[in-house]
Amino acid sequence: MKYMIPSCDTMAALGNSTATGCNILAKNSDRDVTESQPLIAFPAADHEPGEKLQCTYITIDQVPHTYRLIGSKPWWIWGFEHGVNEHGVAIGNEAAWATIPVEQENGLLGMDLLRLGLERGKTAYEAMHVITALLEKYGQGGACIYGGTIQDFAYHNLFMIADRKEIWLLETVGRHWAAKKLTDTACISNIYTIEEDFDECSEGLVEFAVERGLHNPGEPFNFSKSFILFQSGFMSGHPRHYRMKKFLADHKGSLAVEDFWNILRDHFEGTVIEPRFDPASVCDCTICMHGENPGACISAASMVMEMHDSEYPELYFTYWGSMCPPCTSFMIPFYNTGYIPEKLGRGTNKYSDDSFWWKVYRMSTGVEANYNKYIGLVRNAREPMEKAFRSAAKDTEAKALELLKAGKAEDARALLNAFTDQCLDQVDEAVSRITEAIEKDLSEHPGSVYRAAYLKALKEKTGM
């Protein structure tokens, strides 16, 4: 295998938080260190009978109507790593490796299935069955890294699918699947977690496992034990899963949006596998990922989806999103208005001054040159800023609600969009200021020696 370090996504969900009174879905999306992951809005659309849809690798049948979406999208892939639609259905996906090999021909990527679920599902349950039907019809497969092949890097997929009323966990292997309705906190990280407690599954799933010697007839069927791959190089999801599981248990009853920001920024601090020198010196896959060499993974984008029990679509959710490793980034609020600032949607695998993703990543790589020295610049700017964003979001949402009640939906949407712009402007200014300060200091004082070769190679590869 050419790419030896698997993708390392992490995801956590909370049903009906006692602190916020809503469902929360949180996700770090990890990609190759050179892959930007823009945030893009797509409008609802009507389609002609017989129309076809080109996904990343294959063409499938289109449906008569697709819903409006916000999605965080690896630049070269049709689908999303995570996103939400106009009905407040949010989905995140993750890689998983199984005892069953990935199909060796192109199908739908997990990210394609995710976007299709959002385009076609009005509820979490409906979106889940959009995904499972397409999975069974077209299969999942295709290279999951730019310029690679299926043999280089491909995987099965896990999904968390949430709306304002319920959250489902969907785990797949080939064209088979099992699903579980979540009633409490839950987390996943590149490993199967559904055991005997699934609520639904694909037809013939147990027989499929028996035929391959992965289940003994007559015993209770355990999805995870049958399919999970215990093999060096694919085990890094286990410590991340247990780290998140412990965090959720320790904070049960008081979890709020800010807690999910914190867990997405975690590097096993205070444990025996905390990175030796600093969070950028990873010896294992942490929840917040930093690259090791060009070809490894970083946390390319993050989402904390805060669901609201509102009768007005504009306030179905607050999408808190950031770009690049979340410990060196800022959370920005977005709403169900179909609006994402255009500069957030730019980016390829090469550095570009007009891409906000690359602008943040430039700052992040500066911090990583000497993490312990420079991370304080980010934290000192971020902590009061995000606290102010949270407070202002509640005030802005309250004002928008009054406008909506008065029948002034256009004014409410304009207010919410303006708030997004204000937060983005503050983050943009902070990123510029921090980057300038770091790069000035680095011109006079070298960064950490152990990190220098990696950063030099990364910058040469991307033109940063």
Residues labelled catalytic: 8
For residue 434, what are the contacts with CB-CB under 8 A and spacing of at least 6? 363, 366, 374, 377, 378, 381
Read off the amino acid at residue 423: C
Token pair recorded at residue 26: 């949180």
Distance (Å, whole) CA 295 – CA 365:
15
**164 vs 10, 125, 264, 404, CA distance in Å?**
21, 12, 22, 19
CB 463 within 8 A of CB 350: yes
Give the CB-side neighbour count of residue 111, counting CA atoms within 13 A.
Answer: 25
> CA 383: distance to chain centroid?
22
Question: How far is residue 406's CA from residue 409's CA, in Å, rounded to a whole number?
Answer: 8
| Closest by Cα among 37, 191, 159 to 92 | 159
In angstroms and rounded to an integer, the radius of gyration of the C-alpha atoms of the chain is 21
Amino acid identity at 121: G
Give the C-alpha separation, 356 to 99, whole Å.
Answer: 40
How far, rounded to the nearest angstrom, does the alpha carbon of residue 242 sit from its chain's CA centroid? 18
CA atoms of 70 and 77, how far apart (whole Å): 15
